[in-house]
Each structure stands twice: as C-alpha cells, then as structure tokens.
Amino acid sequence: MTGKELVQRSRDLHNQSAEALVHGDAEQVLSDLADLFAHLEEHRHRIEEAIPHVAGILELLRRGLESEFSFQLQLAPALRSREGAFSDRDHAATVFGILSGDILDRMWRRVTILCEIVGLQDGSLTLQEVEEVTATFRELALQAAGSMVVAEGGDLDA
C-alpha cells in the first residue's frame, strides 16, 4: 500500500471511529486499525528514517489509539444519557468529553502524518499534497505566535 493510500485509509478510519462512537461497531474499527498498522509496519524503515531513535513508535501509537478509542466508547454513552437541565457538574463533564474527543482526533492526526511521511518517501505524495502536515504546522505556528504575544505583553487582560 502506498503512502497516499495509507493516508486515505487513515482518514476513512478516523471517520469510521467517530461513527462507531455514536452507533457502535467498535470491533470493525479495531480490526481495520490493526490492518492499517500492519501496512504501516511494512514501511517501518521509512518511518524510522524520518523519525530516528524512537523505538517502537508504531506499536506505541497503535496501543495509544486503541486505548483512547476504547475509553471514548465507554465515555460517549455516559455523556449522551444526560437529560433535563445541566448542572455545573454536567457542563464540566461535557468539557471533559470534548477534550477527550480532541485527544482522539489528535492521535488520528499523528497516524495520518506518519502515512504522509511514507507517501513523501515513496513518491506517492508531494509536499503540496500533505494536508495534515501543513494544517498541523499552521496550527502549531499560530499557537507559538500567540504564546510569544502573551510572553511579550505579560498577559492579555485589558
């Protein structure tokens, strides 16, 4: 499987995992995830060339993603089952759920970036086609710029 195909598969699985959190069928997502990582293992040498000295990066990422997805499967029904007026506790629990979803999304972004690295190395992607790398770089650059503004100005309170 080429890097470009891996990217598409990663994006598809990301969408499937979101659907599974709402409708179930987690077993299929976990099975497809194992398959994706088996294909990534075939490109381990390319990943290790790009990110040296990180032994077991694929296994660690796979286990982390499986764990976070499983956690989300347990959390989602609890957050959806709320009825009536929201208390402060309910609002805090909702924020916790949103943060947890963001963590899962960021883990999927990492997988997609690894797939894009493979695509850059195998020639199936060009730098102009690596959307996740570009979007993440822009996001991190904006965060860094915001941090510098806060550091230079002391704080942002008017």
SS (H, E, C) the chain: CCHHHHHHHHHHHHHHHHHHHHHCCHHHHHHHHHHHHHHHHCCHHHHHHHCCCCCCHHHHHHHHHHHHHHHHHHHHHHHHCCCCCCCHHHHHHHHHHHHHHHHHHHHHHHHHHHHHHHHHHHCCCCHHHCHHHHHHHHHHHHHHHHHHHHHHHCCCCC
Out of 5-14, 23-32, 69-78, 142-151, least confident range: 142-151
* Total number of domains in the chain: 1
Out of 21-25, 41-45, 63-67, 146-150, least confident range: 146-150
Under the banding of pLDDT at 50, 70 and 90, the label for residue 155 is low
Residue numbers of the domain that contains 69: 3-153
Domain assignment of residue 123, yes or no: yes
Domain assignment of residue 65, yes or no: yes
Return the pLDDT at 158.
Answer: 47
Domain assignment of residue 158, yes or no: no
